Structure 1
Amino acid sequence: MAFEYTVKQCAQKLGISATRVHQLIKEGMLPAEMIAGRYFVDEDAVEARAESLPSPGRPPKRSKEDPRFFTLMNRNHEVFEFVYDNFSDEFTEVTQIIDPSRAPLGLMSPQGKKVSLSALTYWWKHRSIPLSRSGMEAKLATLGLSDPTRLPFKSLGLSLSDQYWIRPKEMNLDWHSINYFKNTFPEMLSGDWLEQVGLESPDNTSEGQLPKRWVRIDGVPALIKGGTSLNQEPYNEIAATCLYRRLLAPEDYVSYRLELLPDGETVSLCEVFISDEEEYIPAYYVMKAKHKAMNCSTYQHYLECCSRLKVENAEVALAKMIVTDDLLGNTDRHLRNFGLVRNVETMQYRPAPLFDTGSSLLNEKTSGALASGDLSFTTKPFHDDPNQQLRLVSDYSWFNANALEGFAEEVEQIFALNLALEQRIPYIKQLINKRIERILVISS
């Protein structure tokens, strides 16, 4: 949450008077903080209100209220109480803040006195399956729902990425008896990836485009993921695991392996990477820890936020991520695909292990592009040019160049397991060797 709009700027944005802005603040319609005797208004809330303004000459849309009252919980810690309108599918009010320190990063005002409803809505949206995932529109139709954001309510918002859940006001529930880390949940019985969606399942809160399901392996929650047309993504995850094993410590990465489903589909599988006392915090929210100074790069701002949160070894963790992503040609290290892990009892942070490298090794290149010699790729999150992003790395003390010997050949063996990738293997090996040469020059 960014409390950066002055009352004057807010009035100009909304086309109302400063007096009206003060009235909206007093009524709780605009989250604001008093800093040095002046009100500063939540920028996200202002933008959301501006977008919802009715067209000239038309009355504002009103809905029949069907409110439900909940408490946002973090394990058994009460965080804040809120109201959700079932009819309009909206968070309408936060009625009481109880423990702001355990709220999701980015939702609270700097002084912990306000919750931005727009930020809460955004956070909840990314706690839901995206509508763009294959089969979701048809699945929602069978459930009688119009939007995926209703799905987490089916399982109290429980996830295997953190410890947050929603407790209905009328229910007396205990986190220990309902969480998915320790308690069983339905698993896949067929080849339908969305089979358990809409039931009491952690699949209701699984983010991302690729087909995926939560299962249990020897009692431990594990995520299985499929791929697209050539099914290269699961093999990319295995290639990344092999690279990480060569260069990094076990705590630095999530280990993947291949599994064969009963219907013959090959998928990747990884065990849950947090404990039942931890939460994964994407970089998007980490960067809400402090105001971004003008002319400060995204890279530097992220490090400053980690420093504010007293995270150790954040810069080395970024170095490992940037270098290994470069060697893999990873094109999708966006701000939700890396971050921190926070222990919700001790409130201590650590860099999250590296995960989700399915969009790597030229998997989005057409056969024609590869045949023409196009091995280019763009990078995230700090620069779209891989060479420019590599220049951010200054510490190679962890890097062992000798460990890369034979890596391209190891990837070749992995990809040979998928006959659909046979013609792509020479280009993938060429990319790996090219990036290895580049890394060796820079790191020496």
Structure 2
Amino acid sequence: MNLKTLRELKGVSRKELAEITGISFRSIQDYEQGHKDLSSAKADTIFKMSRALGCTMEDLISQVDLSALKPSELTDLLNDEGERSQVHKAVGPIVFNLNPADEHPYILMHRDRNVASLVMEPVSGALISVSEVYNKELLPLGTKGLDDRLKAWWQRRAVPITQGIMQKILERIEFVTPQAYLLKNLGLSMEDCYWVKPAQSDLTWRDVNLFQNDFDDYVGTLQFAGLDAIIDFRNFDVRFPSASTHGNMPKTWVIQGDGTRSLVKGSKNGNTQQLFNEVVASYIHRKQGKFDFVQYEFSAADYGHGQQLTVSSNAFTGESLEFIPAADIIREYRKPDVSPYDTFVNACAKNGLDKEQVR
């Protein structure tokens, strides 16, 4: 019923909505009258309607009945991020009703080695199923044995929707989910050498990897520059590392003159405390002189709105050194009645690291 409520709030008729979205008048009528379940519609159907009505996909399929609200109350709710989150909590994960014709075969790769055959849905970016595992030893840590673990790994790999203004960026560049943006970028990351290749493609690791090939992280830059200038990134045959950069603070990647890849991190909502924390922690580690660490330094970036305080750090990963999150190590080795901390320490020791140094 929320479709009708939001459509009327926007002042759009069914006929006009059909013309704007390309969805048939009859389908819109069926969704509004309950003859069809909108939450089971294809991802792009929900996305087109949300774009036309100026709301989110969650607003349309929420189980919270918006029709009981007065127009003024509804407008206030949709404009208030805190109140809106209460609506979204009632939705839970969005699960799309996928048509087999929309499913595309991909291969999970580690550099140029085949790891597993995957079935992906390009609109939502969802990993639907794992058809075959070619090399169990090369599966990402913590994903062996269950398809659901690999699906969860794919979801975690995508940039968080909460990072800076990423949700607004994805809406503007017309990606339904972070996973759709990740799939467009072939799942590439600055953390490791995994990627996904369309099954019929002749692409190689050398063609696409972010460690050797130049890139301009246009999407990451929008975290700092704002949404003033948007172009259709969906038609770009380029890779953006921001599709798989984690954390909630605004971030972008730059390539220095000598080819060094550097991560630039900004502040969120004007809170610069984390930036100072990164630099202070780097200073303490440098004084201790005991361990390798990721060093952050203050920097100033100007993306068209004056200088902004940022911190930057050079990438420590590459083709010969990959990053494995501690959470993945714990997920792989965790046993009942063993704390996450002890699990991590024991796993590191099992794989050749000095136990006391890890502690």
TM-score by length of 1: 0.52
Q: Counterpart amino acid of 1:211?
A: P
Q: After TM superposition, list the pairs within 5 Å mapping 1:214-225 onto structure 2.
A: 214-217=253-256, 218-225=258-265
Q: Counterpart amino acid of 2:98?
A: S
Are 1:96 and 2:132 matched, yes or no?
A: yes
Q: CA deviation at 1:89?
A: 4.7
Are 1:297 and 2:325 matched, yes or no?
A: no
Aligned to 1:128: 158
2:178 paired residue among 148, 165, 175: 148
Contact in 2 for aligned 1:106/1:285 (Cα 8 Å) = yes
Contact in 2 for aligned 1:129/1:204 (Cα 8 Å) = yes
Uncovered stretches (5+) of structure 2, i.e. residues with no partner: 1-94
Q: Deviations over 1:61-86 (max 9, x none)?
A: 85322111111111111111111133
Q: After TM superposition, list the pairs within 5 Å mapping 1:353-364 onto structure 2.
A: none
Aligned to 1:175: 205
Contact in 1 for aligned 2:123/2:180 (Cα 8 Å) = no
d(CA) in 2 for partners of 1:145, 1:298: 35
Q: Counterpart amino acid of 1:221?
A: R
Contact in 2 for aligned 1:158/1:180 (Cα 8 Å) = yes
Aligned to 2:7: none
d(CA) in 2 for partners of 1:173, 1:227: 37
Q: Counterpart amino acid of 1:86?
A: P
Are 1:272 and 2:315 matched, yes or no?
A: yes
Aligned to 1:284: 327
Taking structure 1 as reference, are residues 155 and 63 closer, same or farther at Cα in structure 2, changes over 3 Å only? closer
Q: CA deviation at 1:193?
A: 6.6
Question: % of aligned pairs identical?
Answer: 26
Q: After TM superposition, list the pairs within 5 Å mapping 1:47-126 onto structure 2.
A: 62-65=97-100, 66-86=102-122, 89-109=125-145, 116-126=146-156
d(CA) in 2 for partners of 1:88, 1:178: 22
d(CA) in 2 for partners of 1:75, 1:63: 30
Aligned to 1:211: 250
Q: Counterpart amino acid of 1:213?
A: T
Aligned to 2:51: none
Aligned to 1:192: 225
Contact in 1 for aligned 2:108/2:116 (Cα 8 Å) = yes
Q: Counterpart amino acid of 1:266?
A: L
Contact in 2 for aligned 1:63/1:87 (Cα 8 Å) = no
Q: After TM superposition, list the pairs within 5 Å mapping 1:246-265 onto structure 2.
A: 246-249=287-290, 252-262=292-302, 263-265=306-308
Contact in 1 for aligned 2:116/2:130 (Cα 8 Å) = yes
Are 1:238 and 2:274 matched, yes or no?
A: no
d(CA) in 1 for partners of 2:253, 2:205: 19
d(CA) in 1 for partners of 2:163, 2:96: 30
Q: CA deviation at 1:174?
A: 1.2
Q: Counterpart amino acid of 2:255?
A: R
Structure 1 runs of 4+ aligned residues shifted over 6 Å read: 193-198
Contact in 1 for aligned 2:125/2:181 (Cα 8 Å) = no
Q: Counterpart amino acid of 1:161?
A: E
Contact in 1 for aligned 2:123/2:176 (Cα 8 Å) = no
d(CA) in 1 for partners of 2:280, 2:125: 42
d(CA) in 2 for partners of 1:314, 1:207: 28
Taking structure 1 as reference, are residues 98 and 291 closer, same or farther at Cα in structure 2, changes over 3 Å only? same
Taking structure 1 as reference, are residues 76 and 61 closer, same or farther at Cα in structure 2, changes over 3 Å only? closer
d(CA) in 2 for partners of 1:187, 1:293: 42
Are 1:307 and 2:307 matched, yes or no?
A: no
Contact in 2 for aligned 1:92/1:117 (Cα 8 Å) = no
d(CA) in 1 for partners of 2:260, 2:296: 14
Count of residue pairs brought into register by the alignment? 250
TM-score by length of 2: 0.64
d(CA) in 2 for partners of 1:62, 1:147: 15
d(CA) in 1 for partners of 2:96, 2:242: 34
